[in-house]
Structure 1
């Protein structure tokens, strides 16, 4: 029994250290930190429970530690799942029934009822909480492979627990006692299998949180956080990749009187106007085109293989759609508008030169009264 306890306890400690290192490496961009806090608590309580196995002081001590620490560890895991998948609390009936069974198991041990009844109540209580874990993952919409793997592991835990409820009493007999259970290879095997499955579930949760953290870091590196569009660096990288291979048109857009909007209506309204234009711009972006927010109220759209006439039509539609969307979604007393400049380019041209021509066209649109589209001079044939 000692070797068994040391093995499981060592696995818990190693996993806990791995989780801590994972968080330390990803903390700068980590999301769902509460999930990790609950998970760490679950691991710590589980480690404590495994440690108490080696300190057995009789059936009452073992039953007390099992009925207190195991459900706390499982509920900590359930709370971690709730944070990861952003689910409501819920499932209080399941937990109430589970705790009722666990209290009955402890009371039965105190009252010295046949040990098989207390054992059955204890295992049934564990199984009910484990069913909640599996059900939480089952309720997740648009599951990825990690979610399916976690669901399979948790369903395996429930199946093993249910099998344990039937197999152990049938092998040891309905008159089994605490001493027989403690020395039974059958129950020991079940504990090893359950421990391994639960450790695997914890690893999958850590990997899931780490994957979210890496995705969040990548999003922050590539995207503008307010609008979700590409930031300037990513836009220029993607546009340049297309410019190297083929001609096209670059459109620069700037919201008119943006400072006045901020001063009169507040920065929330200014952010709202930026988001409205970003939404309009993204809807107008075709599959091969790329758009981004390259400054405070300045946006860019690159159209591969387009002509100036194509770009002018798209820019005019953008201008009209933005004004209409602002009237429908923003409570302002004046019409919001945008000015745009379009510049065509040849394949392999320098991006800074293209940006300069488009910016000059945009400046002319501002000088001529704003809320208009201006075209840069055509390239020499």
Structure 2
């Protein structure tokens, strides 16, 4: 029989399924990959027990909890826990500190469902602490390179081809610009950090000690790059990705028009999806209205509206090239040229996609180290 565990490393490396017995409000604030929230108590029940604990002490709070989770309510929750345990015989359960709530769930599963199901010692707090330590150790022990380039050069495409690439935008579920918001929402900040830490843990386990991240600001949509990483990104070596203007326009058209439009249609149906997609594009342009200036914004909005109308009539997207080209020429390119000039002293290599990939892979091979084991 498997026992309780404090081997957090193997839990994350193995994508082990875990049952989170905390209240839904706790789960929404932050959880881990491959976890399912099957709470012992609802938010309101937890609040009542907490108030009772403050006013009357632990014994009274425990007694109240047992009264609130009894009868049919208890039976339904026990059935859900048992279903999870049977579906995931290799899994574990946890609560906030690995204490009373997970012990109650564990006891009821054993005594009333005949299932001996192990829990994570230390619970959420210990798991979260392990991942924060994983990130801190990587920042202290590993090498990092920042991948920069003009808008549309395909930095994310390059990262996807690198075994040692860390896709911050992917973890944040946001493309990182005023036009970068996706159809579905972003993860909670803690979930973003946890996903990134697990990614680093797995890559270090595979032997990587040198990582590539895209040049990002502090915020990627609603998610913030961890402070230590963002500070490091201001001094790490910089590799600059180059591509032709035409290729950049094509790539932006693919990502921000064709693919984003398809995501909206898949999520909301054709008619509603097209309306919401058009609304999203206009909102994205409006976000930079002050920086564009009133007249330029008005001109670009008119071009965008004409392209959206053409797309609605016949499905063609070529009309969008005009506002993309104008936005690059008058807004993004001058801004990125200034950024490159300010960071010129950190640029260690520049080239097209093939050359950059070769350079970054060669640098990674030279920096590979054995699995750091429990020190990761």
**TM tier, smaller:** under 0.3
Normalised TM-score (structure 1)? 0.27
- Structure with larger Rg: 1
Normalised TM-score (structure 2)? 0.28
More helix by share: 1
